[in-house]
Amino acid sequence: MDKTFQLRTSRHDEMIDITREVATFVKENNIQNGIAIVSSLHTTAGITVNENADPDVKTDFLRRLNEVYPWEHKEDLHMEGNTAAHLKVSTVGHNQTIVITNGELLLGTWQGIYFCEFDGPRYRKFHIKIIEG
């Protein structure tokens, strides 16, 4: 069972909490146990699990990625000019696997699932694949 979702990002770099969408999809399909694989369908946007209680975590996360991967680098050759976005996705990853137990996502108290935009704003897609078991 799977579904593709669309969203619109509003900034160049941002982290959008998609935990609710994933949890709702699990509940709507009455999944009790298994795994949910959440994937970005883009080379410049990723998926991560991180703290969702303090918004400063997202700010710090994006700032630190920008320090490691500055947008402009004099030696970058990629014609589109978004090499930094590709590097960020390779660091963060394009998907996450979340365990489902007793109909709930198995996440820690402060954890959330984030769609990470690194080359926006754009219309984007992410996909959820459920494997029951």
pLDDT tens-digit map of 75-114: 777 767 789 999 999 999 999 999 999 999 999 999 999 9
What is the pLDDT confidence band of residue 74, given thresholds at 50, 70 and 90? confident
- How many domains does the structure of the chain reveal? 1
CATH of the domain at 59: 2.60.120.460
HEC string for 20-39 = HHHHHHHHHCCCCCEEEEEE
Domain of residue 122, residue span: 2-132
State the average pLDDT for the chain.
95
Which percentage of the chain shows pLDDT scores above 70? 98
Q: CA-CA distance, 115 to 47, in Å (whole number)?
A: 5
Residue from 121, 128, 132, 124 nearest 12 by CA: 121
Q: CA-CA distance, 50 to 93, in Å (whole number)?
A: 13
pLDDT digits (tens, 9 = 90+) for 58-70: 999 999 999 999 9
pTM of the predicted model as reported, rounded to 2 decimal places: 0.95
